[in-house]
Amino acid sequence: MGEFVDAALGFPAVLFTFLLVVVVGYWLLVLLGALDIEALDFDADGDVLGGVGFAGVPVAVTASLLIAIAWFVSLVGTVLFGGVLLLAILALLVALAVAWFATRLLVKPLQKLFPSGPEASRADFVGSVCVIRTGRVSESFGQAEVTAADGSSAIIQVRQTGTDTFRSGTAALIYDYDADGEFFWVTPVPHPEPHG
C-alpha cells in the first residue's frame, strides 16, 4: 500500500491526485443528493466544450473522465519513470493526450443520455388545439388532451371565461396559461367563414 501512495504522490501523478479526490468527493455528494449532476454546468451553451469535442455532456461528467484517465495514465508513468524528470514530463504529456482522446471517445455515446435543447414548458401549449376530455368546461372545471411538438400527449386542466359549450371530443384553442392556478384558458376553435 505504501508503494501505491508513493506513486500517487509522485510526479506526474500528484498533479491529478488532488483533482481525483475532488472528483470522488463531488460524485459522493451527487449520490447523497447534496449536489445536482449539472451543478458545475458553467458551459451550458456548449461553446467551450463543443470546440474541443466534448459538447452534449455535463461539465462534471467530462471533467471526471478527463481527470480519472489522466490520473491513471500518469500513475503508470510515475511507476515506470519515477525519478527521471524528463521521462516523467513525457509521461505527463502522454497522460494528457490519452485522457483527451479517451474522453472524446467516451463522451460520444453519453451524449444520447443528455438531450440538448430547451426544456419543454407549459407555455409551449399556448396556441395549440386541444381535445376536450370532460363533459363540460367551466371557470372552475375541465380537462383536455393536447399533443406536444415531439408527438407525446398530455392531459391538462382547462378553463373558460365565457358560456361556450364544450363537450367531450370537441376541439378548443388554448390561448393562455394561468401559472397560479396551473390551468390553460381555452376558447372554441374559430371556423372559417363560408364563401358565398
Task: Give how far Cα 1 sits from Cα of 7, 8, 11, 88, 135, Å.
Answer: 10, 11, 18, 22, 73
Q: Which three cell numbers stand for residue 77?
A: 508513468
**137 — pLDDT class (breaks 50, 70, 90):** very high
156 and 183 Cβ atoms separated by less than 8 Å = yes
pLDDT digits (tens, 9 = 90+) for 139-157: 999 999 998 877 788 899 9
Portions of the chain given CATH number 2.40.50.140:
122-188
Q: Report the chain's mean pLDDT, rounded to a whole number.
A: 85
* Number of Cβ atoms within 10 Å of the Cβ of 131: 14
Residue 183: name the closest of 153, 154, 147, 162 by CA: 154
**72 — pLDDT class (breaks 50, 70, 90):** very high
65 and 49 Cβ atoms separated by less than 8 Å = no
pLDDT digits (tens, 9 = 90+) for 11-67: 889 999 999 999 999 999 988 888 776 655 554 445 556 666 777 788 888 999 999
Q: Which class does domain 122-188 fall in?
A: mainly beta
Q: What is the reported pTM?
A: 0.58
